[in-house]
Structure formats: C-alpha cells, structure tokens
Amino acid sequence: MKSLAYSLFIVTLLSLTATFSYAQETSLFTQYTQNKYFYNPAYAGYHGYAVGHLVYRKQWAGFDGAPETMLFSFQSPVAKTMGVGGRIFRDNTGVVSRTGAQVSYAYGVNIDDNQQLHFGISVGTLVNSVRWDILSSNDQQDQTLYRLNNSFVLDGAFGAFYRLKGLEVSFAFPQLFNRSLREQSTSSNSVFRYINQSVAAVSYRFDLMQGNLSLTPMLLHRFGAFAIQKTGQFDMSLTAEWQEKYWVSLMNRTDYGSAVNAGIHFKQFSFGYAYEFASSSSLIGNVSNGSHEILMSYHVGRKDKNKKKKEVEPQDNQLIAKADSTQTIKEEVAKLDTAGTKTATDSAALAKVEEKVEEKVEPVKSDAQVFDKPEAGKKYTVSGLFFTTGSAKIAEGSNTALDNLADFLQKNPTLKVEIGGHTDNVGNAATNQRLSENRAKAVVDYLASKGIDAKRLLFKGYGDKEPVATNDDEKDGRELNRRIEMKVLDNK
C-alpha cells in the first residue's frame, strides 16, 4: 500500500478472509439539523417551500483515503400534505467510491391542529467503483477489486416522523434493500456488502423571548454495525437559532468526539460551516486534523423575515371596522378585486381606495377601533396592530389598538374571549404555527398587564390554516391573512 492509511481502509473495508466484508456506512453529516431530509425521506417538502442544498464534507483531514462526501439535494411540497425530493451524491472512502441518485415521496397526515404524522420513501441506484489511482501495483492484482468495480445495485430508504407542537420523533431505514456489492464467489465464502444501519431521533424546540430565540436539544441514534465500531452511535446536540436567521449548534458523538457548526440565512440563501474534532482517546483522534463540512442552500419562495426596509408586518388591511371580521374581510376583498383596486396600509393608498371604490368600505382613520355589541361566537380583527417581521415582538405604534381592546374588555367585565393568531402560508407550517401562537400570547400578556383578568383571556395559534384571502399576492392576500382576531367565547 502507499501508506498506513490505505492499509487501514483496505483491512477495514476489504477483509476478504472474513465471512463478510463491510463498506462505509451511509453518508455522515453534521449539519442535518438544518435539513433532516439528509437522513430521512419523510422530511421531503418539510420546509413548506422548495429548497436546494449543496454539501461538501471532508472527514478526518490529513488522513489519506479518509471519507469525502459531496451531495446535492432538492425538495419541495407539491400539495398541503405531500412533498417530493431528490438527491445525487458521491462518497469516497479509502479505495471505494460510490455514486448514487434517489427520488423521494413524502405524505403527511394532520391528526389535529397540533399533531402531524409523515411518511416518506426513496428509491434509486448506486454504482460502486474502485479508485485505482491510489492503489499500488501489487494491490491492483486482487481479483476481488475487479469484481467490485462498476457494480450496480438498487438503493432505497424509508422513514417517518411524528410532531406534537415542539416535539419531533423520527426513525429511518437508509438501506431499504440488501446492497451487496458482488455475488458470493465460487472460490470464497466472503461477500462484500454495505453495513445495515437505522436512524432514530427525538428533539424538542423551545421558543423563548417571544419567539425570537429558539433552543432545540436533539438526540440521534444510529444503530447497526459500523465500519470501525460494531456498536451504535449517539449524537447529542443543542441548536440555538436567533430570529430564524442565525444558528449555532454544539454536538457530541459518542466514542468519537465533538462538533460545532454555525450559519446564517441571508435572503434566499443559507450558508453553514461545521468543524468536527475527534477525541484523543478515539482511534482517529491521534492521526486526524478534524473534519470540515460546508453547507450552501437556496430557498425558493422563502420570505426574508429580516428585511431592513420593512420593519413591521401589517396584520390586516386596515379597512376593517367591526363585527364578524372574517366574513367582512372576504366580502371587501371580493369588492376590491372586482374594482381592480389594491388594498394598502398607508394613508395615500387609503385615499385612492376611497376615491375608486364605490362600495362603502370605511378605513380606520380614528385612534379607536369600533366594536359593536359583543355576542358569543363573534370575531373581530384587531386593526392597527403590528409585529416585527418574523417575530412575536409587538412593534411601535400598536399601543393605541391594544389599549382600545383593553378598554373594550374593561367596559364588558363579564366577557371571556379568545385571542387567535393567524399567518400567511409563506415558510414552514410548523414555524408559522409557533409564530401565530406566540403572537397571540404576546397580545394576551399585554392585556393582562393592563389589568384584564387572565382567566378571561385564552390564546391560540392557527398558523396558516384559516386564510381569509389568497396567499398568491401580498397586498390582496398574505397581508390580510396575517392578523390577530378576538373571538367572543362567553358574555355572562
């Protein structure tokens, strides 16, 4: 062999004197917290919009023949409960190189507003080859390598995950088929095949600081046989994300070492870097300079929740006056669509609406929103309420609307209400659910600070499940769907 490194990989991967010889396990990644589709096909379309990921990983830098992985994946939702994806990858491990491609289909079941169950399956092909350029002339005489070279096998995976609010539990079988690299020879009982592995994971997301900060501890277990160790391996990680723009993650892999990764979402792009270092007590720790992983992503349709030029996010079209606002919005949007006039929030646009629309649509010009006689079951959209884009922080200029709501509740002391949060459908459905719930809670907290008995206030997040207009357009649609509603529950 050219070096001790090659000898190690040949001994590990091509132990032809044993009954079975094993190849490198499935592709190993560190930044899978940013794209769980890396290891589980059930997450195809999980983001709620199309996204492409490009990953390069150099494992055990400074160690000749160490694993090297390149992967491109693309996934997209195709319906409310379905997603599709695809991936092309190449793994170089010692003298063995494998190139594969898979396509995936995922289907989800909404058990209720807080619970979802998703399943996914992938099928594809895998081609194995030998890297002759790193072998010595003596090694190239091994006939087993010639039988291994250019072998073609069927590849596939199956996975599922269950979500309950912030909790996620998942499992996956990355090697759905028996991926033997060559048939049993007549002269030997050895069969060269890939190691069978499975993956199980559990995580819980905690939203803090009105949804601006999230902490997600995660435990992932790979169980089955491994190329270097014959027992399972645990990944224990903690990921912190700020305003869904920056992330930092710390990870520890049992019997191996630790890793740190960080990244940023910038407009439609994401960039991440991970560095993994083996402990000195591990086999690789004494000869490796660590592992490097680079992640680049492009998100198609992802809303930039941190645009500087748009500091606040309108919650409604500011044309709502009173009484069962959900129906009112639908009626007025239909009128505006017929008239060919776009709704807007600024005073100049409102003046144009008054000039062009003959129907009596009353803009909210006064400081106080008008509420009529409260009756159980009625809904009111709270006009003039704003949040910082992508967060549950109540923006400046919203106090008048909130104080008016508090005054209304004080004048009706027997009233019990539900504060409901709604979002548009841009972005991940789970993220929208959390955002709507956190915004509704922020309003309830404000009302409680003004002396409203907390027992009279309930809050609920509806996410993007109850739109009142199309989500295809901003002014005539998404802006209307982002709203806070007050629903009268009881008036006794």
3-state SS, residue 325: helix
What are the residue boundaries of the structural domains of the chain, listed by start? 4-300, 312-491
Residue 474 confidence (pLDDT): 74
Residue 26 confidence (pLDDT): 67
**pTM above threshold 0.85:** no
Residues 6+ apart with CB under 8 A from 19: 189, 190, 191
* Helix spans in 340-457 (H): 347-356, 399-411, 429-449
In angstroms, the CA 157 to CA 22 distance is 19
Residue 207 confidence (pLDDT): 85
Residue 360 confidence (pLDDT): 38
Q: Are 85 and 45 spatial neighbours (Cβ–Cβ below 8 Å)?
A: yes
CA distance to 46, 168, 190, 238, 303, per residue, from 206 (Å): 19, 12, 50, 11, 22
Residue 91 confidence (pLDDT): 86
In angstroms, the CA 328 to CA 296 distance is 44
Q: Which fold has domain 312-491?
A: 60s Ribosomal Protein L30; Chain: A; (3.30.1330)
Q: What is the mean pLDDT of each run of 10 residues along the chain (492 residues)?
A: 42 35 61 90 88 90 77 89 92 82 93 86 88 66 64 87 92 75 43 65 89 90 60 87 91 87 92 86 64 92 52 44 43 46 43 42 44 76 84 85 88 89 84 88 91 90 86 77 88 70
Phi, psi of 439 (to 5 degrees): -70, -40
Q: Which fold has domain 4-300?
A: Porin (2.40.160)
Q: Are 129 and 147 spatial neighbours (Cβ–Cβ below 8 Å)?
A: no
Residue 149 confidence (pLDDT): 65
How many CB atoms within 10 Å of residue 7? Answer: 14
Residue the block writes with tokens 């993650």? 249
Greatest Cα-to-Cα distance within the chain, rounded to the nearest angstrom = 93
End-to-end CA distance of the chain: 86
Phi, psi of 165 (to 5 degrees): 55, -115
CB neighbour class for 92 (10 Å; exposed up to 12, middle 13-18, buried from 19): buried
Q: What is the CA radius of gyration of the chain?
A: 28
Residue 218 confidence (pLDDT): 96
CB neighbour class for 231 (10 Å; exposed up to 12, middle 13-18, buried from 19): exposed
